[in-house]
Structure 1
Amino acid sequence: MMSHPGRIIRRLACAGACMAAAIGAAQTPAQRKTLERVGVHVSALQAAQTNGQQAVTAPLNSPTALCYDSAGNFYIADQNNNIIRKVDTAGAITTVAGTGEQGFDGDGGAATQALLDSPVGIAIDASENLYISDTRNHRIRKVSTSGTISTIAGTGVAGFSGDGGAATSAMISLPTAVAVDSSGNVFFADSNNNRVREIVAASGTIQTVAGNGEQGYSGDGGAAIDASLDSPEGISVDSSGNLYLSDTHNNRIRKISGGVITTIAGDGSFNFAGDGSTATSGSFASPHGIAVNASGTTLYIADTDNQRIRQINSSNLLSTIAGNGQEGEDQLNGSATAASLDSPLGVAIGPQGTVAIADTDNDLVRAIFGGQVVTTAGGDQPTSVL
């Protein structure tokens, strides 16, 4: 078992301590509260001012996840701004959920007036409904095509409970990645519970589909619900309903098919190795976001602490398609494998096979076209809550 914490959980765990340190221990509670409030409003104002402008000049603040709709628009979980943003095919950016203020509010109303708290994961279904892992609110939320937001899982209290009952009565803990299958069933990484859970579309009930809740690595070849996971923080589903997950602290990629779990990539070591070899002999370092094409033949992985995006092709061979392995602030366009990335957390497949990257600590969204990488969002300085 590895001791290297995943980036998302590590960020969330230290968020309060980091804010307190930045504000300064010498200030009174009232002064700290005032500064926090001012900072939140500045962040919200900056985000609002970018609505309608070109995404390449719009500031982002730790983008963590991406997804595309059927028209080719893409969406960004702008985590530290507590908003979800849309970039249309003309490159214009708008906010589609969240005001920029950190909190929980707004169910039943316009998503743009709702409060979110560190949204980490997003997905879109075939009807263009948007799903959000509202991570620090311990909820999964849905934005309908009319723009109305609602909670579809979680009570807001961190914990584990509720399997077999209504998803809105269940407890979840720091959900991260989210995915939707062709039937509208919603899967999410219940990361702090070391499980993957499903919200059943037909009934609105919740069930565990992988993980026994114990932190560890076990279970290959057996029932996925009996397997041990360690902070799964990436999830994707193919057109046949097979589920793929980044078992982040185990430094492995696993697949669930017919309820059975197997490891399909990674030898468990926190390392970089294996390009050109079969995927199971390769090494990863805290893999996070994962995306599979519809047929399940090609898989893309954000190999976060290796500062790379990796690919598993239809021959089960592993390769690097972006990132030179050096953590950096490279905003230049050019060869994808020569580019510097900084803790990429998200990856998505777009039209014509475009691969989009949430280059998280560079506050950028980048896209790979034919071996070249270009910046598509976040080319200005990041907004900040402080």
Structure 2
Amino acid sequence: MKLIQSTILTLAGLSWLAGPGHAQIPVANQDFTILLGAPVSEPVFTVFGVGFDGTGTLYGVEFEEGNRLFRLGKGETKQTFIGGSYLKSNRGSGKSGGDGGKVGEALFSGMHDLAVLRNGDLLLAETWSQRVRRVDGQTGMVSTLAGTGQRGYSGDDGPAVDASNSGIYSCYLTSDESQLYLADLENARVRRVDLKTGRIQLVAGNGKKGPLIQGALATETPVPSPRAVTVAPDGTVYIVSREGNALFKIDRSQKITTVINVTGAKGAGGDGGEALQAQMNGPKNACTDSQGNVYIADAENHTIRKFDPITGKLWLLAGTPGKKGTGVGELNRPHGVCVGPDNWLYIADSYNHRVVKVRL
């Protein structure tokens, strides 16, 4: 496939041009822009998750380098840190707290992801504390939505605040804001919290080790290392398997199958071809657009991939497979993706310590 040269977009005085890679999505213009991070703004550290509220404000979470929350208002070029404390590592330190108080005084430990409601409420996957925290967008008050703070597995069909988990690595809010999906990775399960009732239920995984049983009911098969979950507009649930290097799909009959990398082998090949025969390497996150396409942060390949469910093909969107870098169009272990209100894909370019965006 011939790569069509992109146009240049300038933000805060810095211009970037999307460069060549493997087979890229055949679009006329593909812009790649640094939004946050050096050299365009005050530093951010290991950004793992990004999302938008209803006003177009961008929110993000930093992992262990920063352990902070930040926001960037529509049209702004400088982020505001709104919560957390810059601590080199909170893992195992117990430095998580602040429920019942303001977000500016709270501490967060090992945040991996977030979901943002239209009203500005933040739902935080605080992995090392085994909880999902909630920040009220109007008052700034912090509370716990799910998890007891203790490792384990319990609580299905009961109140989410009384349920234990072993590492919520990802959270995904449905478009109607009624359900929050959770990737409970170390329990090898995906769970769902009803935000109206506050109750939690099992979606996928029987907690056992082993390969996925193709075509099984999602709750009756092992689901290897579910690292992230996303839901398409038609209700299809997609699960990112970190160690399985794969993408799984749960259809409306609740049966689960592999749609990317049926062998599970590590690799970077297959762009432009059938997704079932393609490879990934340690994918970490995913999101969907209004057409049902799935965008995957293929972290250890330093790329973003696009899965088209209609054609069953996989495409390279950003990054150079197997090569990390800070240059034109390059990424370094991206851990988060979301589609913004402007129909650009926003990427947590985690180990380049920045947020970038790519035109879809």
Query: What's the TM-score once normalised by structure 1's chain length?
Result: 0.76
Identify which of 266, 270, 273 aligns with 2:269: 273
Work out whether 1:257 is the aligned partner of 2:243: no
Q: When the two structures are aligned, how many residues end up with a matched partner?
A: 312
Which secondary structure does the structure 2 equivalent of 1:168 belong to? helix
- Which residue of structure 1 aligns with residue 357 of structure 2? 367
Matches within 5 A, 1:243-254: 243-254=237-248
What's the CA shift string for 1:68-104, capped at 9, x where partnerless? 2232222211112111111122222112332335412
Query: What's the TM-score once normalised by structure 2's chain length?
Result: 0.82
Contact 1:326 1:341 in 2 (8 A): no
Shift of 1:294: 3.0
Contact 2:300 2:322 in 1 (8 A): no
- Which residue of structure 2 aligns with residue 209 of structure 1? 203
- Which residue of structure 1 aligns with residue 82 of structure 2? 96
Shift of 1:328: 3.2
Q: Distance between the aligned counterparts of 2:276 and 2:225, measured in 1?
A: 20
- Which residue of structure 1 aligns with residue 54 of structure 2? 70
Which secondary structure does the structure 1 equivalent of 2:215 belong to? coil
Identify which of 86, 102, 115 aligns with 1:110: 102
Contact 1:197 1:206 in 2 (8 A): yes
Q: Distance between the aligned counterparts of 1:341 and 1:206, measured in 2?
A: 36
- Share of identical aligned residues, percent? 29
Work out whether 1:170 is the aligned partner of 2:163: yes
Which secondary structure does the structure 1 equivalent of 2:169 belong to? strand
Shift of 1:329: 3.6
Q: Distance between the aligned counterparts of 1:216 and 1:295, measured in 2?
A: 33
Unpaired runs of 5+ in structure 2?
1-35
Contact 1:274 1:282 in 2 (8 A): yes
Identify which of 99, 112, 126 aligns with 1:120: 112
Which secondary structure does the structure 1 equivalent of 2:290 belong to? coil
Which secondary structure does the structure 1 equivalent of 2:186 belong to? helix
Contact 1:195 1:232 in 2 (8 A): yes
After superposition, the CA RMSD in angstroms is: 2.0
Alignment CA distance shift 1:56-1:184 (3 Å): farther
Shift of 1:183: 4.2
Work out whether 1:149 is the aligned partner of 2:142: yes
Q: Which amino acid aligns with 1:214?
A: K
- Which residue of structure 1 aligns with residue 294 of structure 2? 299
Identify which of 310, 315, 318 aligns with 1:319: 315
Unpaired runs of 5+ in structure 1?
1-51, 371-386
What's the CA shift string for 1:102-159, capped at 9, x where partnerless? 4121112211211110111101134432110011000001112222111011111111
Shift of 1:53: 11
Identify which of 328, 336, 344 aligns with 1:354: 344
- Which residue of structure 2 aligns with residue 328 of structure 1? 324
Alignment CA distance shift 1:183-1:344 (3 Å): closer
Larger proportion of strand: 2
Work out whether 1:345 is the aligned partner of 2:335: yes
- Which residue of structure 2 aligns with residue 381 of structure 1? none
Contact 2:54 2:117 in 1 (8 A): no
Q: Distance between the aligned counterparts of 1:54 and 1:111, measured in 2?
A: 26
Which secondary structure does the structure 1 equivalent of 2:342 belong to? helix
- Which residue of structure 2 aligns with residue 308 of structure 1? 303
Shift of 1:200: 1.5
Q: Which amino acid aligns with 1:159?
A: G
Alignment CA distance shift 1:148-1:240 (3 Å): farther
Q: Distance between the aligned counterparts of 1:53 and 1:228, measured in 2?
A: 39
Which secondary structure does the structure 2 equivalent of 1:57 belong to? coil
